[in-house]
A and B are shown apart, each in its own frame.
Chain A
Amino acid sequence: MPGMLDVTRETGWVGRAIERVEDAALLSGGGRYLDDLGVRPGTLHMAILRAPHAHADIRAIDTAAARAVAGVVAVLTGADVARLTAPLVVGVKAPVECWPMAVDRVRYVGEPVALVVAQDRYLAEDALDLIEVSYETRPAVVDPLDALAEGAPLLHDGFPRNLASDRRFRYGDPEQAFAQADRTVSISVSYPRNSCTPIETYGLVAEYDPHEDAYDVLANFQGPFSIHAVISRALKVPGNRLRLRTPRDSGGSFGVKQGIFPYIVLGAVAARATGHPVKWIEDRLEHLMASVSATNRATTLRAAVTADGRVTALDYDQVEDCGAHLRAPEPATLYRMHGNLTGAYAIANVAVRNRVVVTNKCPTGLNRGFGGPQVYFALERLMQRIAIELGLDPLEVIRRNLIPADAFPYRTAPGALLDSGNYQATLAKGVAEGGLAALRARRDAARAEGRLYGIGFAAVVEPSVSNMGYIATVLTPAERRKAGPKNGAQATATVAIDPVGAVSVHVASVPQGQGHRTVLAQVVADVLGLTPRDIRVNAEMDTAKDAWSIASGNYSSRFAAAVAGAAKIAADRIAQRLARIAAAQLNVPVEEVVFEGGKLRARSNAANALAFSRVAALSHWSPAQLPEGTAPTIRETAFWTPPELTAADEADHINSSLCHGFIFDYCGIEIDRDTAEIRIDRYVTAHDCGTILHPGMVDGQIRGGFAHALGAALLEEFAYGPDGSFLTGTLADYLVPTAMEVPEPVILHTETPSPFTPLGAKGVGEGNCMSTPACLANAVADALGVADLRLPLSPSSLAPLIHGAEPAAPAGIAAPTPAPSGGKGERLMRGEGKAHVRAAPEAIWAMLLDPDTLAAIIPGAHGVSRVSDTAFRADVTLGIGPVKGRYKAEVSLSDLEPPRAVTLRGRVEGNLGFGGGSGAITLTPDDTGGTHLAYRYEAFVGGKVASVGGRLLDGAAKVIIGQFFAALARKAAGGSAPAPSLLSRILAPLTSLFRRRAP
């Protein structure tokens, strides 16, 4: 449209930080999140049994007891689910199957193994306790580089050496650039596992209509709606028989709620199997252990550099860890940044090797930053290393490599078309207004006092509005030709006018708290000369009724750039028609019509005006009066996709995203010499995200991304034991930053509008997740003068860098040894002890070989059964303090050397987890007819107690053993040592192994 409909920023609503229309309800308990909405009468509730093992074959599942619980309607296993579904689509071409519930084999702790549908959630969980699963454990592999090693445990036969994809790319002439380089600088980093963990967990309500073979699912899914096709395919119905809806409000997502889709399949199957609507709310333990995670990545990055710090080539070797299954849209995390591997720098030559591996960890998916943190942690740490190795100022190295301001739109070597920017200007503003000179002075002063103070920098390009075709870069050009073209980023918006002229807007997006409804009201109000209050925005999604496409949803920071732009286009089209209607009635040329103050008026004569509602209602009440050739103004849906987002070419160039913001960050941090705690003294973040639609929301995105990044840099990690046990299963162990840890960043803006988006806006939601971890790590490296850093930067890991060698243990105290690992990688707890018993070894030995007495002597034992002379099974209830669990125990005696020595081996499994170990007992006669009893044990624990109580396990073991020997000493002192009770004490070290599951 010509300038006629443009609204200047001074008078318009766009660009102003108006109060959000969403907030009054959200602040008053009036939110409509998934779990706030009512359900149909007869709705049942689902709970999910999850694998305690990282890698195991399922030998048998006994659901009889669970089915017998009053109120339980159905219990489904992986086999039941598989009967009603097809496997989930896998992101690469390989003969592997991915099911939403384990079939035959579990591959990560938390993988669904069975589900219960019952009248309420409490009953469903009661039934979960009664499902008995028999596992045969396998060795697990947790580290991506270990997974590639010869002889590593294999997760899927279809992924030889656990390798799901191995591609090499070459842009420019990297070999020549490295050959001619003055220096080569390299860095090896490993980016850890973490997740943005929204405070609202996954939730869904699923229904199945057998009469039409159709599913209706309400879920707090966030998109992309390309996943809709994945779900309908898994449910074996065409897309028009899967109605997927989202509630008005979402309690945060940050990408994470893309990962609900396997559970949508499970909920839908449960609804079908029971004939009832089924509701599921994920709990926090489930969320942390098994919802979704960002990828961890091992990267070696080399740079060819000139003596003055110019980077002439990069060579990436990235090993991406997608966890146990390659779920859609993975390996997208690896390819989202493909066009942006050169970051903010003009680097013409790039070599890349991208490998995707599977390991025994939670499958990965969308997460704020999505590939950016992984790439920039390597690239920006490398830029600092280049400066240090060349003896240059790190900021100067950044400056010398930035893309020149007059080079936009700029095509990067791997193919991204950077839309606009003036990186030098943003950087200069950051330096000047952020107070870098003062910060350097603070560092000098601190260092003069002997304090550990460092400054770090990071400069990153923040891509937004993903090209739906970038993921196809994982395929070879030949495979791509076969698969058919994929590209674009369809955005959809509808503007509608009702019979009294009231305006509604609908977008195919799924806001997760960003304030879409407010911004859309601003955008459309400006076009129509109304106020935001006049516009009602609906951002709920309903695939059965709404206009949508595969790119619909809210991810890759696409709202401001794409979705709001589509709304502008739809509003413009309606406004164009309204102007034509008004022009006829006002007797002015259409160019003369102005939208202002709820009126359409003649530009030159304010009195010549019509009420907006009157013009707007005409299409309803009197369509015959519409000027000839003017379409009605009742409803307009705009689809917008940028032409710049083309498919990958034959040389693998890919414009992976449409918009590219720029961020220049720096910070000053101080590290406490005693505790190694990091204090952020000042953090400056200078942004250029194009045209700013709502300053309050833009700063909100920056602050929120900064807090997520700070968590990733300093606190958060999904920690796994070497055996794949999950160690951070609560929010007391997965450490989300609080108000005490997050300082206020100094936020600065420059605005270079994007020429490729309708409003000039670019995404801003993810940038600090990309820049801040590298920036903080660079500051820590500067403070400590070290090269290798691993995230999160915990005081415990930094302390040895400050404190050097540890003082020796004083004489008489054994130097501590690190905990060893077992055959399957378990972390072993070790201990030993001794006691004196007033009975001869022969008497003790005789009792040891009499398993029948065990029932009486193992605490909490019920139903001991004898398997052989030296082996038995028992049900035991064990615990410490208030913690108690029921376990099935298998115990055997071996290495028998009567009456001197015996080894007890045991293994227990129960709903709190599993454990096992061995205890070697030796009996030595003394010269008074008694026995010196000594024992050594090794034990391991996994499952729920390891996830939620790992902090307490070792101590719990010691307590129980201590109690045993206290009792033994008491009894022995009492002089009476009846055979069974004596035996019980001898066997107690074994029972303590069972108890070690309890924190």
Chain B
Amino acid sequence: MTDPIEKDVANTIEVRGLRTQFDDFVVHDKLDLDVHRGEIIGVVGGSGTGKSVLMRAIIGLKTPSHGTVRVFGEDFYKSNEKTRLSVEQRWGVLFQGGALFSSLTVAQNVMAPIREHLHIEGELAKDIAALKISMSGLPAEAGAKYPSELSGGMRKRAGIARALALDPELIFLDEPTAGLDPIGAAQFDELIVNLKESLGLTVFMVTHDLDTLHAACDRVAVLAEKRVIACGPLDDVRQTDHPWIQEYFAGPRGRAALAAKAV
């Protein structure tokens, strides 16, 4: 097996002049965004600003009507199938509800990409699955359970375990802490930071959670008016003079999250 040609690029994700639309409804227009290698970027924005759509445009599920999206230096929408496949093996995606295959147990879910792409079966596949399940913070018993038997938080962890199956360099998280209790959410933040540090992951995270932004994100990108209106370290973004940003960070919850960080 040969290594796919891996371009050495500083920006893991590079979005230029992106325009996405549903019929006549334009979600993004002239949107630019860079995600550097090895950082955790948090994408925030009000409801309906297209955070999830942006994520879907980057991972190839929503074809942009204009502009380019480069991941690992490859323009996903213009490359051939082989390049696409190799790009897809280098990223992992956690959808909002976990999106686990309901007919498979958690361990089988994690083994599915290992079996398909690495052609690893048997004991080694089980060992890898057990490792990822443990790394995602699930107990070993969870491996034999079906997704319907898990709570929302456990389902997200199982989703992370599957996203990590192929040792991706880049991981997409769609609202990872939504619907988790504060303790679970804090553990999840810690898990993400841990994984990023030990595996050198780049993380693209769509979130609403101010605490997650403080606890986990290196940079924050704010979506509004169909584009990224501010992007940078949290402290810089907070200084931006835009009504939505001011309201978001200076509102009661924003201040509380900041106070919690200061302690």
- Real binding pair: no
Binding site for B on A (CB under 8 A): none
Binding site for A on B (CB under 8 A): none
